[in-house]
Structure 1
Amino acid sequence: MSFAQERLWFVNAAAPESPIYNVPLFFRWRGEVDPGALHRALLAVVEKHEVLRTTYQDRDGERVQVVGEARVAVEVVSHAPDVEARRGFDLATEPPVRCAVWKGQPDGDAVLLTIHHIAVDGWSLPALFDDLGTAYDAEVAGRRPELGELPVQYADFAVWDRAGLDDQLLARRAAELAEVPTGLKLGGARPVPAGFHSGEQHRFTVPAATWEAVGELARRLRATPFVVLLAAWSEVVGRWSARDEFLIGAVTANRTHPAVEDLVGFFVNTVPLRCTTRPPTFAQRCAELRREAFGSMTYQRIPFDQLVARTPGRGLAEVGFALQNMPAPDTARWTAPDVLPTGTAKYDVLLIVEETADGVMGTLELDTELYPAELGPRLAGDFAALLGHAVAEPEAPLAEFALPNGPLERPRPLPVSTVEIDRGDLTEPERRAAELFRAVLAETGVEIAEPARNANFFTLGGHSLLAVGMLARARREHGAVVRPSEFLAEPTVARLGALLRAGTEKSEPAAADDGPRPATSTQQRFWFLDRIPELRAAYLVPTVVHFPSDSGVEELRDAVDTVLARHPSLRSRFHLDHKQKRVVRTTSGPPARATVTDARGWDEGKLSDHVAELCWTPFDLANEAPVRAELVLVATGVRLVLCAHHMVVDGASVRVLLEQVAAVVQRRELPEPVDPAPVGERGDASELIAALEGAPTDVRLPHDRPRVSVQSILGATCTTTFAEAPALRAVAKESGCSTFLATVAVLAVALARRSDQRDFLFAFPWSGREHPDAVGMFVNTLVLRADLRGDPTWREVLDRVRRSASVAYRAADVPFDEVVSALHPQRDLSRPALTPVYVAAEDEWRPPLGGELLPLDPLAVKYELELTVTETPAGLRLTAAYQTDLFDDTTIKSLLADVTDVTTALMTNPDGPACEEKLR
């Protein structure tokens, strides 16, 4: 790998699902797109550019590129582009490019070409899109694309890159940078744990007159626009950090070899540049930075990670800057591509200035775990204002120009001062707002006697973080939900009063405004299962998170209350409408509120019983909110017990809730709540039912005890890890299967080798989630057939499972009950309908705020056997949840050992017979 690729490979290895280095290129087609022609054209482009068909491996400690055959996925989809844009890449097994197409959109067909940054940079796009346009034109004309051959490939550059490392230059530059103080933080920064952080972008326009003046000043000073822009940005950074010397990471093209000028690949490098705010005028700043920027032409060959390695413990580029001035890609067939945001941040703060067809645009990208989101627009405003002033008056002292927004976190005054302001006639909401002003400002040492209607929170000494805390207090004391952005746009007593009035009305919706709506088919099924006493606890979704510190419990409780009140699904009440003979829901009921229990003096038995009661006590779905939360103080910290009914949450929703609790604690703004969409049209079940007909509606599992009349839900888990996950992925990919589907096939074979059954139905979940921040039950239960009849080879089994899954996916909107009614009408309560086996794939996930997920004890399970597959750095984790009334622990361990043995057999001889021999 090149040095640049190796840096991104390490990031991907540490967080395989992170989209932090996705490059999602979204563009509209001028006319209708032919997905088939587009697929063939992309294959031609991928064939030409090796880097687009390269995977990355760690072989005996050496990280290498593996150039493979041309392959690229092109799918016609209906889900939101941002969902597609934020899907991570598995760089070890899949090509670093994929394509999604939206047909029949109001503004014309749309395409999202998502490429991992390891294979592309901004300077690659003209060549990439020129080749794609040429290839597509040829395909629609019925010709074979002729793209020509490249004289060199990216792998050649990687060799030059490694050979060209100048160790003496590296050492000299590291010594120079060691003299500059690091740890650059702008006003209002808060400490956060290490890791990959969420981010937000704020886009703004650089006026044409300002951009023209930038070019004129650059020519007069014998500099470049890059230097002028960096000088302005460094002044803003200097003011917000209260530092007169610091480093800014400049993103450079690093295409220093003529042969790679038009090559697709990842060449860019980060070059730390020394910036000072000592020269008094802007012209002098530019002159000083011109010398530093000229040096960067030499330094851009120094790999950033090698530089960091020579300066351990120092952050060399917390704040970044990039000027995107590459040629625009060809747009004859499509609009200019937009790079969609991925919700992540590569730097603490990054400013990008870009020349586009619509003018010069700025993008301010912010790490929202380190800084509040509203900092982005304020920094952008300061940069635009200072740049406009500086290019107009480059010889004037910069100290005379005041930034319009100013630092977010102002030093708090130590002495207590009093500000006397005429109060005037205030409305009742304004009086509440004035009292909130007084109370929170008093905590900083500022006493306000009588704030007037137009009194400005920031003029009085407040700042944005204090404002966020004030709004949380408004919710606690007045029940008013106010978004920080709404107040910060106009931070006066009058504005807060109006928001308090509106927020109180929003937080207390009247039942008349929320008529009953039909429950989904899944909610209907769960409601009827809740009528069966033995099964009520099976459809609860409890989560227990342990936090190592019990400090800030009240703040955590407030955050939980805020989140629970925001989501309409969590305020649902369910009733049976006897006239319509169906279940309906309303969302006008009051939200649940978290409780706090001090269990620090309890023994382990009492604590376990209390947590179990919180986790498994059924809800009164007609009269109470279908969610509860409690903070339990224990000797080692605090445990958050969150339990909701499956009618209103799925697994992804629980993660959303916990992430949003963390966002409130960290003073980050939450997205607008999303109410699950009304019930849509049901899909056509005919193809699915035809594909499943004839299969047994039971599985011969190795029960240690017989079933009883009503199934038990008491369960336990057993886990094993299969270390050879990359090899399994490779074999599965050859048959067009995911690792999950390969595991389904392996489970079927393991069960077949224990009995004479050769045909299986397994249930598995499918999420219809369209919005990443929505909270609700979006999962439908699908059914997959694993047909092993006729002594198939492993490849034939994988192909059968893949085709069965494709049918199931096409019927993803068919209610599970409709499938059950057609295939298993004589079901009883002794076991689940259609199949006693459930399989699922799950991403590894850690709770925010340093929390740790605790295992549930006791555990309730819905199926007799539930196998969950999780990809982890250590391999494939297989977790079997099982009903303890039917199985002994040793039996499940034995079955998982069979699954591991059978997986090895698959990888060893994929062309051999799958069910050749029996096991045990």
Structure 2
Amino acid sequence: MNGPARLHSTVAPLSFAQERLWFVNTAAPESPVYNVPLFFRWRGEVDVAALHRALLAVARKHEVLRTTYEDRDGERVQVVGEARVPVEVITHAPETEARRGFDLAAEPPVRCAVWKGLPGGDAVLLTIHHIAVDGWSLPALFGDLGTAYDAELAGRRPELGELPVQYADFAVWDRAGLDEALLTRRAAELATVPAGLRLGGARPVQDGVHTGDQHRFALPAGTWAAVGDLAGSLRATPFVVLLAAWAEVIGRWSAREEFLIGAVTANRTHPAVEDLVGFFVNTVPLRCTTRPPTFARRCAELRREAFGSLTYQRIPFDQLVARTPGRGLAEVGFALQNMPAPDTTRWTAPDVLPTGTAKYDVLLIVEETADGVVGTLEHDTQRYPRELGPRLAEDFVALLARAVAEPEAPLAGFALPHGPLETPRPSPVPAVVQDGGELSEPERHAAELFRAVLAEAGVEIAEPARGANFFTLGGHSLLAVGLLARARREHGAAVRPSEFLADPTVARLGELLRSATARPEPAAAPVDGPRPATSTQQRFWFLDRIPELRAAYLVPTVVHFPGETGVDELRGAVDTVLARHPSLRSRFRLDHGQKRVVRTTSGPPARATVTDARGWDEGKLADHVAELCWTPFDLAADAPVRAELVLVATGVRLVLCAHHMVVDGASVRVLLEQVAAVVRGEDLPEPVAEEPPGAQADSSDLIAALRGAPTDVRLPHDRPRASVQSILGATRGADVADLRAVAKESGCSAFAATAAVLAVALAGRSDQRDFLFAFPWSGREHPDAVGMFVNTLVLRADLRGGPTWREVLARVRDAASVAYRAADVPFDEVVAALHPRRDLSRPALTPVYVAAEDEWRPPLGGVLLPLDPLAVKYELELTVVETASGLRLSAAYQADLFDDSTIEDLLADVQKAAAALVTNPDRPACEETLR
């Protein structure tokens, strides 16, 4: 769905996250349970007046800091008012000030206290109610405060800029985006887990806000390094490794084999809210079991569940609780705090003072700080005695250290230093299995399609749940096309790929199977009169009018067959296949009356020629093959395809060249497979009738998602662009860390992860942090079709705000989903909206193209030969090839712009970025080490 929009309203509903805090505050306005007391030391003396004015400037920019909360006619609303930030110079203890509650209906949710004349510099306590701030708000908050304070000291008016949206706009969007179906499904899944998680030593207490205690402890540097190493080797993340260790300890302290742990997530799921101050975090209950025999197996089991922290982070926790009455969904919590530290030289990094309360029965926070990795164990002292904190923390540190050192050792042999305070085995509360957890008949069909297609690709899975994501289970975009082709064959359901890829789950495919109308079996297209060319064909036809670009839109393939291959049989097979497909008989011309390109498919087919080159030297042979590959077609008079069999000393080379107007990459594979089938004496399927154009697609969401991004990429050119872009290309290749596992955890494809690492590698070479990449999407709906089914889509890779790798993947995944939903929008329409004043010095909208493909070998023992020379359409074309052993990068680039060494250096940066992503996806993506 669209992101938040600027509404300029002073009254708005509460977000789902705020609503819970408002209820607590209304019941106990004096309680500090949701205070966020930020204590920091000034490096020198505070100018209190300048600080006050700076805080007012920050509150003017961030409306949530000047918002109060009311009940108007039974509706809970937030009201944006004037900037008010009380600043007081005081002498009493900081803890006293930190634990003073807020009256959210009457006062702003922020206040400031200053202590003057302390040794080493003054001190400041900025106390903000959680309803207006979270951990991810701090870089923006303190960055703006530092800018405003510097301006005030210099006698200037602070210039903090305007935000594209405010928190109230997010709240409106948040409530409108509630996915009832996803909420119901997730509630049903969680209802199967036994309720009532209690650790040894628990005391019965009434629900409510309770006193709390915190125990802080250091995680040894060696253990933390081993966590990262193990995460990389298991293709997991440090979050998964830490969660696995925490779950093992909780399992032992509770004597439970299955339970829920509440993962605290950032929940900033749209780029528009990246730099907003506000309360976005959500609690996502994750299912944990203690059955895996080794720690490595436990991590593997939790990887998929940990992905749920991204998939389900927009489901409001309170809404889940409401759907599962009488159950505790998150008595025990876990958070990995890896947001960037606020950057300033005027004060120290802020410490969050304890408030003497607890939000969970037990909460473990692991945080990366400038002084190392620190753990905080917070627990409810009415539920558990105070000694629980140190004992539980020591058990966690000991088990984690042993587990990362011996991940394949049996977990049963890992002893805890302490163990639970008491050891009675509690009786689990039986859970009611709700009917909502059962799959409907269409969903069962969808689940079986998932299993069958993945099994053919070598991925064995159990029956997937309703919310199972095709990419998370091991699928990729080409397998998705095969999945939908199988759905057509077995269920008569014609599902458009863009409809499925926008939400590639069992539930979504089940809906599409239920609603899809079966299309008739493909049949041969009749001899026809002129018909309109597609939008892509129109664009390619006009590009063919530009002499310098004509060769770039040819699709040549050279296959070498061994000496025993029969030339006559091969020639006859090529002629048979070229004559069967209507698109290969196309002729194109401009209809001046209609002012558009039209085509017919009634022209005579192309026929293969044979050239005996067995006596030629290598130079003459190379020149001849190059001419066959790169000579443009007369699109009005000739068939847009040619084929020649070139006899050489070691066998036969098939040179097949077609114009991109009538074939795409998958079509070339179809043609070669069908040539092999004819040689083997097999029957061919009937040629597929061309689909009529669909309804005009709505481009508004896509344009909105892309607007504001630069329409160029700062590439490391060695030479300037010419007035008309060059198409002379060269290639370089490199192996890259296998991104597929970490991509799956974020619901991404290898393609999306590759785009992310490319963006980070490019960001390391300039100050650009927002990129547009072109990428191909095939709208083919039948695997045997031959034609140009590819549209050019646009992917945004937004690195602004210093996101972690995990967040970059989430952003790219969401951007890809927006692109897939608009897969039928003509590329020219996107260009017209975003880059109307383009010139011919570079490609429209972006000079970078990213693609993914599977490793493929020609039939009949053929070998694909590299093209030399090579024509390229974009300045940089990066393709990731998925092989059985890993990922391989192939970079094609404009040789007139880049030296070979420059591309080799760029590929090395991509390799470093990929390794950083695999090793620790919870660290900031654009780190100095990548530059």
The answer, yes or no, to whether TM exceeds 0.5 is: no
> What TM-score results when the alignment is normalised by the length of structure 1?
0.45
Considering Cα pairs closer than 8 Å and 6+ residues apart, tell me whether 1 or 2 has the greater RCO: 2
